[in-house]
Chain A
Amino acid sequence: MTTAAAIELKGISKAFGPVQANKDISIRVMPGTIHGIIGENGAGKSTLMSILFGFYKADAGEIFINGTKANITDSQTAIRAGIGMVFQHFKLVQNFSVLENVILGAEDGALLRPSLAKARGELKRLAEEYELHVDPDALIEDLSVGHQQRVEILKALYRQADILILDEPTGVLTPAEADQLFRILERLREEGKTIILITHKLREIMHITDTVSVMRRGQMTATVKTSETSPEQLAELMVGRKVLLRVDKKPATPGAPVLEVENLRVIDEHGVERLKGVSLNVRAGEILGIAGVAGNGQSALLEVLGGMIPATGTVRMNGQELDLTGTASDGQSRRARGIAHVPEDRQHDGLIMDFSAWENTVFGYHNDPAIQSNALLMDNAAIRADTAAKMERFDVRPPDPFLPAKSFSGGNQQKIVLAREIERNPDLLLIGQPTRGVDIGAIEFIHQRVVELRDAGKAILLVSVELDEIMSLSDRIAVMFDGRIMGERLPEQTNETELGLLMAGVNEEAA
């Protein structure tokens, strides 16, 4: 006789048109455990959880909650069955207070006053019980992302959820906020709550879950005890082949400085100082990684160097000074000086989503005489052939130059941008968030290409909010906070705790 599972799914299938998002999925989640569900983008994790929360209706299959069959038709029935969901994109009303958000849809009567009073008391109790402290009268738009997430958890607990589903909860959090979240989750588990954690980050799975289920292409490929598995095994189960998790690279042999930046300052159109005197240099044959929580000036740095916004200060490229006023400089003149740029937001700044892949592979280089057939026309046939070859070399799937950029997955879109920029043989590659929204298999490929470029003696400036990526790829690490460089470290001589402190603006050496 086994105890009843908190949740049991039997044979769940769901198709969207011709796409089979979930195929005959069965899973048992035991009460009082943290159960991880891991898989690449599009593996069907979110679809499965949306079915459990009543957002979608499954084509086939049954759901059992605590051993009894549940007929979940909409969010209301899911909530009544004791399921709470914290979505990746929070479902909060920005100009409402925390209290108003918590009671929305769970009011006790037609008048608000008694509900608000009850919720205020209840929130106080929950805050003490689970260490979930939030000011009940604060407006959501004034809260940090981490606190907004707490409100989502409080919403679920206020509705007496026993089963909590979290969809990619750490994607928007700083490492410190993520650690706090994990402490909250552990606390919830101690109190007997069941937690389902959906993520594509192996580190989190290994860190906090008791059991983990792996999904690939709509199917559940395995369910294992976390203590009996390894990141390598999980990665293999996710991708379906062996994956190299650590970047395989030789020690760097840096040469002369390629990029020298002195006292760079940027004031944006709102009068906010985004860079407050940044100085750094990148040498040939090395990768300088810029770590930091999003919004601390890294974007401005890339945009200045890529010629997208004006700045003051000095930037030298191969010893020659660059124009920073924005009058004589743009992305194209930067490219002429040997600077290639893979922007942070590839869909906004890197590609035109409605244009085909071959058109996208010439942007920024469209004035190159080599691709003109005469004074008026571009040699489109040659560009298409060249694109097809690039797609082959960069393993872009499907390798069809005529498909619009928006039809490719995130990883393949990134490969198109990368192919365009790397194949021009730049002296300096600016690369922002290279693997944001990219599957684990493609991450490996992109990292390898960046390291190859370094080994060919090029300089690389990498900006990423993923600390893992910075640690494994960089030869030197600079940490940015509030528009300044907080410090530089060598990856082999530092650790995540030290970098995390620098990212939060704490410099222990200076103190």
Chain B
Amino acid sequence: MDFATVLQVLDSTVRLATPLLLACLAGLFSERSGIFDIGLEGKMLAAAFLSAAVAAVTGSVWWGLLAGIGASMFLSVIHGLASITFRGNQLISGVAINFLAAGLTVVIAQDWFDQGGRTPSLGGDARFGPITLPLADTLRDVPVFGPIYHDLISGHTLLVYFALAMVPLTWWLLYRTRFGLRLRAVGENPAAVDTAGVSVIGLRFAAVAICGVLCGIAGAYLATALQAGFVKDMTAGRGYIALAALIFAKWRPWYALSATLLFGFLQAVALRYQNIDLGGFVVPVQFMDALPYILTVIILAGFVGKAIPPRAGGEPYVKER
């Protein structure tokens, strides 16, 4: 395996990890506030569809991105109303959102574009293009560093850099600001926040809204940056993988980066090596494709250390005494 191949796999790792990272951070905000969100998948899917559809019609990826965020936010508000205002079951609300998104996206796509539940292929300004970082071409021929900078670090779309920047930003927000303190507190003991004179409902809606924005960007990335258009079920379980990564990351931003890079790496390896030959024994491609999902199951089954979720997670807050 030569250096160039390693770089290609790593480059693809970053691309594939980006939607997972955005969704994982989205889930982090929501779950840290005590609202479990199994609907990351549905929100990403709805955002992917609407961003691709609007980008195709307007020809502008920015309108697409905005529409994607809007779609995801709409579902977030439904989840917020159901689980915060009406104190419903958060899992049921999340599952309902996933079903709603899975069905509606295909039906509306068929109605609008008549292409078998897809959107038209996107190109030009309707898609996020790669950004070449300064001096990338000049430094290309510098040994080792040149290729790393040119092939791995430079040449991604804007959303990839945004996702990576969100990691330290989330950390800072969570641990260095008043909002972060209150957010962490409301997921652990909402009664403490309430008796301190801070609105539990307000905080939780803020967290769910942030979750909506990040999921929207993740979905838009899938349809307008990673791929060129929307296809049926294009999220392919990424929302659930992001949830597993969130648990793996113990609800912490930097760990979330590592966890999603791991999942991205597995996907990249599966894409690159269809059949891996281990000295006579050929690992079938199906196994490689299934690996991220197998890891998800292992993590969710609790085999990877003890992960303590936010203590008030999943429970609506009811004022008592």
Binding site for B on A (CB under 8 A): 46-47, 50, 53, 55, 74-76, 78-79, 85, 87-88, 91-96, 100-101, 103-107, 109-113, 115, 155
Assess A112 versus B197: contact at CB under 8 Å? Given A91-B191, A94-B188. no
The answer to whether B179 touches A75, judged by C-beta atoms less than 8 angstroms apart, is no
- Chain B neighbourhood of A106, CB < 8 A: 196
CA distance A105 to B203 in the complex (A): 12
The answer to whether A111 touches B176, judged by C-beta atoms less than 8 angstroms apart, is yes
The answer to whether B197 touches A76, judged by C-beta atoms less than 8 angstroms apart, is yes
A-B contacts, 14 of them at CB < 8 A, read A50-B321, A55-B319, A75-B195, A76-B198, A91-B195, A92-B192, A93-B189, A94-B188, A104-B181, A105-B193, A106-B196, A107-B178, A112-B180, A112-B181
- Chain A neighbourhood of B185, CB < 8 A: 93, 96, 100, 104
Interface majority SS (helix, strand, loop, mixed), chain B:
helix
B311 within 8 A of A: yes
CA distance A92 to B188 in the complex (A): 9
- Tell me, rounded to whole Å, the shortest Cβ–Cβ distance linking A469 to chain B: 26
Assess A107 versus B188: contact at CB under 8 Å? Given A75-B194, A75-B197, A79-B197. no
- Tell me, rounded to whole Å, the shortest Cβ–Cβ distance linking B182 to chain A: 7
Binding site for A on B (CB under 8 A): 175-182, 184-185, 188-189, 191-198, 311, 319, 321
Q: Which residue of A lies closest to B172 (CB)?
A: A111
The answer to whether B319 touches A111, judged by C-beta atoms less than 8 angstroms apart, is no
- Tell me, rounded to whole Å, the shortest Cβ–Cβ distance linking A136 to chain B: 15
Assess A94 versus B311: contact at CB under 8 Å? Given A107-B181, A112-B178. yes
Assess A105 versus B319: contact at CB under 8 Å? Given A112-B181, A115-B178. no
Assess A111 versus B178: contact at CB under 8 Å? Given A55-B321, A87-B195, A94-B311. yes
- Tell me, rounded to whole Å, the shortest Cβ–Cβ distance linking B272 to chain A: 41
- Chain B neighbourhood of A50, CB < 8 A: 321
The answer to whether B178 touches A109, judged by C-beta atoms less than 8 angstroms apart, is yes
- Chain A neighbourhood of B176, CB < 8 A: 111-113
- Chain B neighbourhood of A101, CB < 8 A: 192
- Chain B neighbourhood of A55, CB < 8 A: 195, 319, 321
The answer to whether B177 touches A46, judged by C-beta atoms less than 8 angstroms apart, is no
Q: Which residue of A lies closest to B197 (CB)?
A: A76
- Chain A neighbourhood of B195, CB < 8 A: 53, 55, 75, 85, 87, 91
Assess A75 versus B196: contact at CB under 8 Å? Given A94-B311, A104-B182. yes
The answer to whether B192 touches A110, judged by C-beta atoms less than 8 angstroms apart, is no
The answer to whether A91 touches B321, judged by C-beta atoms less than 8 angstroms apart, is no
CA distance A155 to B319 in the complex (A): 20
- Tell me, rounded to whole Å, the shortest Cβ–Cβ distance linking B61 to chain A: 33
- Tell me, rounded to whole Å, the shortest Cβ–Cβ distance linking A52 to chain B: 13
CA distance A100 to B193 in the complex (A): 12
The answer to whether B181 touches A95, judged by C-beta atoms less than 8 angstroms apart, is no
Most buried by A among B179, B189, B193, B195: B195
Q: Which residue of A lies closest to B182 (CB)?
A: A104
The answer to whether B188 touches A110, judged by C-beta atoms less than 8 angstroms apart, is no
- Tell me, rounded to whole Å, the shortest Cβ–Cβ distance linking A397 to chain B: 24
CA distance A253 to B139 in the complex (A): 99
Assess A104 versus B193: contact at CB under 8 Å? Given A55-B319, A109-B178, A111-B177. yes
The answer to whether B189 touches A100, judged by C-beta atoms less than 8 angstroms apart, is no
The answer to whether B178 touches A94, judged by C-beta atoms less than 8 angstroms apart, is no
CA distance A81 to B268 in the complex (A): 60
CA distance A419 to B142 in the complex (A): 89
- Tell me, rounded to whole Å, the shortest Cβ–Cβ distance linking B109 to chain A: 42
CA distance A87 to B194 in the complex (A): 13
CA distance A111 to B175 in the complex (A): 10
Residue in B177, B188, B319 whose CB lies within 8 Å of A96: B188
CA distance A439 to B185 in the complex (A): 35
Residue in B175, B177, B196 whose CB lies within 8 Å of A105: B196
Assess A91 versus B189: contact at CB under 8 Å? Given A50-B321, A75-B195, A75-B197. yes
The answer to whether B196 touches A92, judged by C-beta atoms less than 8 angstroms apart, is no
- Chain B neighbourhood of A95, CB < 8 A: 188, 311
- Chain B neighbourhood of A115, CB < 8 A: 178
- Tell me, rounded to whole Å, the shortest Cβ–Cβ distance linking A145 to chain B: 16
CA distance A115 to B198 in the complex (A): 17
CA distance A112 to B175 in the complex (A): 8
- Tell me, rounded to whole Å, the shortest Cβ–Cβ distance linking A324 to chain B: 33
